[in-house]
Amino acid sequence: MDKKLVKSITPREEDFTQWYTDIVKKAELSSYSSVRGCMVVRPYATALWENIKANLDSRFKKLGHVNVMMPMFIPESLLQKEKDHVEGFAPEVAWVTHGGNEKLTERLCVRPTSETLFCDHYHDIIESHRDLPKLYNQWCSVVRWEKTTRPFLRTMEFFWQEGHTMHETKDEAIDETRQMLNVYADFVENDLSIPVIKGKKTDKEKFAGAEATYTIEALMHDGKALQSGTSHFFGDGFSRAFDITFTDRNNTLSYPFQTSWGMSSRIIGAIIMTHGDDDGLVLPVEVAPIQVVIVPIAFHKSNVLEKAKALEEKLSEKYRVKLDDSDNTPGWKFAEYEMKGVPLRIEIGPKDLEKNQAVLVKRYNREKTFVSLENLDIKVEEALNEIKKGMFEKALNRRNEMTYVAKNYDEFKQIAAEKPGLIKAMWCGDLACEEKIKEDTTCTSRCIPFEEEQITDTCVCCGKKAKYMLYFGKAY
């Protein structure tokens, strides 16, 4: 077996796009299907998604959310009920026009998102303030008719969760919107080791039909930004459009306030592009399908395999462990599990046994340590914690290095032209400036961060009085 064979992926600095495609293929995450723009999510990536899902789902449930399963179709008339929403989505939906051999009297779209379906249901089940809040979520796939697609980052069908909640008061709904953004940020930073910027989208970039969209933005290794999770406050716009009313505490008929929030399989793209390197994937401990791989060396000798199996059994109590006792060479196995991004490798051979030790190798920085077999489980726990922190710091350092400040438009244009990364700049709040910046530089506004800085007093584009600080970037 040839180690190079497995590892032959395009270097990341040479061609980032091809590097990404190579990893997706060689790590067996996804393959193309006969259905244009749709992907086959292979077992390894499905296991990764299941771990992401379990983690988020338990966070949602702890906060009182419950899951439901809504239809995948939306009748055209239902989609049209909220004006901004239909304008945003109608151009990019798949239309079902025939059932069996019959032409339908009304077209159905395959859901691109489910606000309209939830509102239709909420209309039926909300009557009194005692019915509120409704804290619903669903795990499903949605379809948006995209022209160009890339696995996980942009596909016609993608997998996600969509939370849809209804509240008695505006304040409560805004709190929910922010709370769920914090849930996403906490998950992505602590469990995926990806630093994010929390902020609010400009009106131009907000979700179709929302009053406000909050976002977490992450920086990929190539300097492009990736919107990684969003949370929307709708006010009572949909409630009015769908005639959802409730009897409030003063016995008055009122409209409830709504939120929605989503995170998708796109986050797998963020994991690949934040942590991956020239040897393949680097997976965060929390969601890795295999957290620890044990590679026995020369295991026909002495009792190496026996010891490796005992180790597997012990560690399996706490971790997802794989012992690879196949006939492949250790070198082949090292390359294979590096490609698959397994966070920690344990090597154990006859010489190690003589010294009563094993070798731990961290995937993300290749640090190699020799540890006693006596307290190996403690050493593994320590190593996994170090990996978690270390991966976050590495990504944060890179983001800091790639974040620039532009005080005037010449600076802005120069940075945008020469330096991949994020640009912090002041903005007057006018759509015209946002559009001009995009036209001149292809940079879009990522968000008004919750933690704004006062860089200058004037808009980086027009020079008028600045209202906000914005993060700009080229985006996926």
- The least distance separating a copy of itself from the CB of residue 216, rounded to whole angstroms, comes to 24
Residue closer to a copy of itself, measured from CB, 41 or 380: 41
Residue closer to a copy of itself, measured from CB, 74 or 285: 74
Instruction: Tell me the C-alpha distance between 451 and 2, whole Å.
Output: 50
Residue closer to a copy of itself, measured from CB, 74 or 192: 74
Tokens of 470: 């914005």
- The least distance separating a copy of itself from the CB of residue 472, rounded to whole angstroms, comes to 29
- The least distance separating a copy of itself from the CB of residue 221, rounded to whole angstroms, comes to 26
How wide is the angle at C-alpha 198 spanned by C-alphas 194 and 202, nearest 5°? Answer: 130
Max alpha carbon distance in the chain (Å)?
81
Residue closer to a copy of itself, measured from CB, 269 or 349: 269
431 burial level (CB within 10 Å; 0-12, 13-18, 19+):
exposed
3-state DSSP assignment of residue 348: strand
Instruction: Tell me the C-alpha distance between 205 and 201, whole Å.
Output: 6
Contact between 264 and 39 under an 8 Å Cβ cutoff? The reply is: no
Residue closer to a copy of itself, measured from CB, 53 or 224: 53
- The least distance separating a copy of itself from the CB of residue 81, rounded to whole angstroms, comes to 10
Residue closer to a copy of itself, measured from CB, 53 or 436: 53
DSSP type of residue 142: E
> Letter for the amino acid at 115?
E
Non-local CB neighbours of 449 within 8 Å, separated by 6+ positions: 197, 198, 199, 469, 471
- The least distance separating a copy of itself from the CB of residue 67, rounded to whole angstroms, comes to 5
Instruction: Tell me the C-alpha distance between 301 and 334, whole Å.
Output: 20
Residue closer to a copy of itself, measured from CB, 271 or 383: 271
- The least distance separating a copy of itself from the CB of residue 45, rounded to whole angstroms, comes to 8
- The least distance separating a copy of itself from the CB of residue 34, rounded to whole angstroms, comes to 5
Instruction: Tell me the C-alpha distance between 139 and 164, whole Å.
Output: 12
Query: Which stretches of the chain bind a copy of itself, using CB under 8 A?
Result: 31, 33-35, 38-43, 46-47, 49-50, 66-75, 78, 90-101, 108, 110, 117, 120-121, 124-125, 136, 140-141, 143, 145, 156-157, 159
- The least distance separating a copy of itself from the CB of residue 66, rounded to whole angstroms, comes to 4
Place of tokens 């909640």: 165
Nearest in space to 340 (alpha carbons), one of 281, 275, 278: 281
Residue closer to a copy of itself, measured from CB, 156 or 321: 156
Residue closer to a copy of itself, measured from CB, 159 or 472: 159
Beta strands in 144-280 (DSSP E): 157-167, 197-200, 212-219, 225-235, 246-247, 253-254, 257-264
Instruction: Tell me the C-alpha distance between 320 and 288, whole Å.
Output: 8
Non-local CB neighbours of 112 within 8 Å, separated by 6+ positions: 89, 92, 93, 142, 143, 144
Contact between 314 and 363 under an 8 Å Cβ cutoff? The reply is: no
Residue closer to a copy of itself, measured from CB, 100 or 354: 100
- The least distance separating a copy of itself from the CB of residue 293, rounded to whole angstroms, comes to 17
- The least distance separating a copy of itself from the CB of residue 62, rounded to whole angstroms, comes to 14
Residue closer to a copy of itself, measured from CB, 38 or 359: 38
- The least distance separating a copy of itself from the CB of residue 102, rounded to whole angstroms, comes to 8
Residue closer to a copy of itself, measured from CB, 333 or 399: 333
Instruction: Tell me the C-alpha distance between 125 and 371, whole Å.
Output: 60
Residue 214, phi then psi, degrees to nearest 5? -100, 150
Instruction: Tell me the C-alpha distance between 414 and 22, whole Å.
Output: 32
- The least distance separating a copy of itself from the CB of residue 461, rounded to whole angstroms, comes to 32
Instruction: Tell me the C-alpha distance between 418 and 433, whole Å.
Output: 21
